[in-house]
């Protein structure tokens, strides 16, 4: 058996290989996002032979206090394949609990997970994302980007999102899967149930995406979908404080990775930081002239890599900002080190 998965592109299922899909969205105070994005998910072109939706969309209202129920009720009048589940505010203990409620109620074994603030790139998003499941895969990781807007924060957020995707997709393609992004991933109900039984699952209220891959991902059962029709997009945080709050939650999961994965990711981060620190030290030594030579050569390779990546992922990043983002990523790792190594972010909103 070939241990190394291949990225899938442009693959759609013939009608006789399609199975029912349960699209799952866990929402807490997401009335505005649901009103804007849910119709696009409910109008996916994934139909049975009679032209009816071969999927259900399950939205779990996790103790919302806004107009989430009102918005869902209005959409239910238009789309009969929308199912609405509710968690009482007293029982709203986090995304994993809401996900468990959805999983238990799902009618289908194929699950497609996304968030209320996500919009699919096309009406074929659903079909692209679940196609590998028909080929025997258990987990499918896709790309989930952020909408472009003005400002260096938005540029850095979109670059860092690409950087994360390049990392986890490369590892998965090499037979070493370690994470996915819950804004755009598919899996079987069977593998999700297996992950939920693992002791580490309940360590955090969120982190379901990474921990699913950590618990149940193997060299053979994880697929990467890189077709741009399968992308999703979300609005990025608009202040550094909001973004830091979000990253604290995301990075809290890393400490529960397998030892080998932590070693490889840690080595990469340390050598990356060491390169910048070495360059700074050399500038104040007799060997200062090594810095423009070595960093210049690295810069050329770096630019080639990221220009190619931005084109592949349909992103627009100003080239002159790339070295700044690279240096910023080193500072980012030091700033969030407590959450990477020992601290947990206990809330998912």
Tell me the pLDDT tens digit for each residue of 229-283: 999 999 999 999 999 988 888 788 888 898 999 999 999 999 999 999 999 999 9
> HSE on the CB side for 83, CA within 13 Å?
16
Asked whether residue 267 falls in the same domain as residue 153, the answer is no
Residue 120 pLDDT level (bands cut at 50, 70, 90): very high
Asked whether residue 213 falls in the same domain as residue 305, the answer is no
Give the residue-averaged pLDDT of 115-140.
96
Query: Any residues with CB less than 8 A from the CB of 14 and at least 6 apart, and which?
Result: none
pLDDT at 221: 96
Structural domain that includes position 266: 260-341
pLDDT at 101: 94
Contact indicator for 46, 127 with CB cutoff of 8 Å: yes
Q: What is the mean pLDDT of the chain?
A: 90
Residue 118 lies in a domain: yes
pLDDT at 3: 35
Residue 5 lies in a domain: no
Residue 337 pLDDT level (bands cut at 50, 70, 90): confident
Long-range contacts of 161-168 (CB under 8 A, 24+ apart): 162/306, 162/309, 162/310, 162/313, 162/315, 162/317, 163/329, 165/313, 166/309, 167/265, 168/141
Taking each helix axis as running N to C, give the angle between helix 290-312 and helix 322-335, from 0 to 180 degrees, rounded to the nearest 10. 90
Highest mean pLDDT among 4-18, 195-209, 334-348 belongs to 195-209
Task: Identify the CA nearest to 58 among candidates 12, 104, 120.
Answer: 104
What percentage of the chain exceeds 90 in pLDDT?
A: 77
Tell me whether residue 180 is exposed, middle or buried, using C-beta atoms within 10 angstroms of its C-beta: 0 to 12, 13 to 18, 19 or more: buried
pLDDT at 4: 37
Q: In 189-258, which residue ranges form alpha helices assigned H by DSSP?
A: 189-196, 208-216, 240-251
pLDDT at 5: 43
Asked whether residue 178 falls in the same domain as residue 215, the answer is yes
Exposure b/e, 101-131, CB count within 10 A at least 16 = b: bbbeebebbbbbbbbbbbbbbbebbbbbbbb
pLDDT at 348: 52
Residue 347 lies in a domain: no
Lowest mean pLDDT among 131-140, 205-214, 235-244: 205-214
d(CA 138, CA 184): 14
Asked whether residue 130 falls in the same domain as residue 54, the answer is yes
Asked whether residue 60 falls in the same domain as residue 128, the answer is yes
Residue 9 lies in a domain: no
Residue 132 pLDDT level (bands cut at 50, 70, 90): very high
Contact indicator for 221, 4 with CB cutoff of 8 Å: no
pLDDT in tens, 149-173: 999 999 999 999 999 999 999 999 9
pLDDT exceeds cutoff 80 at 345 = no
Looking at 192, 209, 240, which one is the last position of a domain?
Answer: 240
Asked whether residue 176 falls in the same domain as residue 131, the answer is yes
What percentage of the chain exceeds 70 in pLDDT?
A: 94
CATH code of residue 130: 3.90.550.10
Asked whether residue 183 falls in the same domain as residue 113, the answer is yes
The gap between the terminal CA atoms of the chain, to the nearest Å, is 42
Residue 215 lies in a domain: yes
Query: Any residues with CB less than 8 A from the CB of 16 and at least 6 apart, and which?
Result: none
Asked whether residue 170 falls in the same domain as residue 52, the answer is yes
Residue 143 lies in a domain: yes
Asked whether residue 52 falls in the same domain as residue 193, the answer is yes
Residue 3 lies in a domain: no
pLDDT exceeds cutoff 60 at 137 = yes
Residue 60 lies in a domain: yes
Residue 11 pLDDT level (bands cut at 50, 70, 90): low
pLDDT exceeds cutoff 60 at 10 = no
Residue ranges of E strands in the chain: 21-27, 55-62, 82-87, 110-114, 119-120, 139-141, 144-146, 185-188, 222-224, 232-234
pLDDT at 124: 96
Asked whether residue 218 falls in the same domain as residue 300, the answer is no
Give the residue-averaged pLDDT of 178-204.
91
Looking at 208, 240, 272, which one is the last position of a domain?
Answer: 240
* More confident: 89 or 347: 89
Give the residue-averaged pLDDT of 285-313.
92
Asked whether residue 235 falls in the same domain as residue 273, the answer is no
Asked whether residue 233 falls in the same domain as residue 323, the answer is no
pLDDT at 81: 97
Count the domains in the chain: 2
């Amino acid at each position: 058996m070939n241990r190394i998965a291949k990225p899938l592109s442009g693959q759609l299922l013939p009608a006789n290989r399609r199975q029912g899909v349960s699209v799952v969205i866990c929402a807490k105070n997401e009335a505005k996002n649901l009103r804007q994005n849910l119709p696009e998910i409910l109008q996916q072109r994934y139909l049975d032979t009679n032209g009816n939706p071969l999927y259900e969309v399950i939205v779990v209202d996790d103790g919302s206090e806004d107009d989430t129920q009102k918005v869902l009720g209005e959409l239910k009048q238009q789309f009969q394949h929308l199912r609405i589940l509710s968690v009482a505010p007293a029982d709203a203990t986090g995304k994993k609990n809401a996900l468990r409620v959805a999983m238990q109620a799902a009618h289908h074994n194929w699950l497609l997970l996304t968030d209320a603030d996500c919009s699919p790139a096309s009406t074929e998003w659903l079909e692209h994302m679940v196609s590998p499941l028909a080929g025997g895969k258990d987990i499918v990781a896709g790309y989930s980007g952020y909408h472009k807007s003005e400002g260096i924060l938005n540029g850095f957020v979109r670059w860092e999102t690409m950087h994360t995707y390049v990392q986890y997709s490369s590892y998965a393609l090499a037979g070493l899967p370690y994470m996915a992004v819950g804004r755009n991933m598919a899996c079987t109900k069977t593998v999700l149930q297996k992950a939920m039984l693992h002791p580490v699952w309940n360590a955090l209220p969120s982190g379901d995406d990474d921990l699913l891959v950590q618990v149940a991902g193997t060299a053979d059962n994880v697929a990467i979908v890189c077709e741009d029709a399968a992308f999703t997009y979300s609005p990025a945080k608009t202040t550094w404080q909001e973004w830091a709050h979000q990253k604290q939650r995301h990075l809290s999961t890393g400490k529960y990775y397998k030892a080998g994965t932590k070693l490889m990711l840690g080595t990469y981060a340390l050598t990356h930081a060491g390169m910048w620190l070495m360059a700074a030290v050399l500038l104040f030594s007799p060997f200062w002239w090594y810095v423009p030579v070595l960093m210049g050569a690295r810069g050329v390779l770096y630019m080639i890599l990221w220009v190619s990546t931005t084109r592949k992922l349909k992103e627009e990043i100003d080239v002159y900002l790339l070295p700044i983002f690279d240096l910023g990523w080193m500072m980012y790792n030091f700033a969030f080190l407590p959450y990477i190594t020992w601290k947990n972010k206990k809330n998912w909103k």
